[in-house]
Chain A
Amino acid sequence: MNDAGLNMTTPPKMRDLAHRLLAYEAVEGKTSELEEAATLRVYEKLRQSLGEFVGATGFQSLAFRALTQAKSEAPGLWAVQIAADGSLQGLGEFEPQLVEFEPQLGSGKDQASEGGVVLIARLLGLLLIFLGGTLTLRLVQSAWPGAAFDDCNSEIRRKA
C-alpha cells in the first residue's frame, strides 16, 4: 500500500528535492534575502506551474493539504496560511515562546529553513502520490527550465 501521504514525516526523496530547489533559488536570489524568500520563490514557481495545470482552486487544495501535513512536522509554520488564490502568507512569523522555551527547535532562521523544506517537500510529496515520480519531475522541470534534472535522486544542476 502506498501510504506515503499518510506518513508523519516527509518522504526522503521529496525532502531532498525540496532542499535542492531551495538551494537553487537561494543562489538565484540575492544573498541579503531572508531564508524564507527562497521558500516563497520555490512555492510561487510551483504555484504558477501547477496552477496552469490544475487551476487556482486545485492548487489551493493541494497546498492546504501540504501545509496541514507540514505543520505537524515543522511547528515553525504555525502562522502560515494559504490564501484563496493559493498564495502563501505568514511565512517568517515565528512563535516567540517556541524559540525561547524549546531551544532544541533552533532559531527563527532555522525554523524558517526547516519549515520551508518541509512545506515544499510535502507539496511535492502529494504530486508524487497522485502523479508518480516521472510526471512530478516533469512538472518540476517545467517550473525550473534553467535547472537540469536527471531523475529524482540526482543532483539539480544549472544548465550550462
Chain B
Amino acid sequence: MSFDVQELLRRQAQWQKSRRALSWPEKIRMAEEIRESIKMLRSVPPEDLPEKHQPHPPTSPAE
C-alpha cells in the first residue's frame, strides 16, 4: 500500500486554511480551546509526559 505523506500534509494544510472562513467569534472560541490545551499540557509534570521517542537506542559507554 502506498502512502503519500506529501498529499496527506497538503490536505491537512488545506483543512487548516479552510478554518480562515469561520466567523470571528467561532475562531476566538477555537483559540480558547487551543489555549486551554496549552495550559493543560504545561501543567503536566515532565515525569508524567509520555516518554520521548528515541530514534536510536542509547549506546552504552562500555560498548
**Do A and B belong to a common assembly?**
no
Binding site for B on A (CB under 8 A): none
Binding site for A on B (CB under 8 A): none
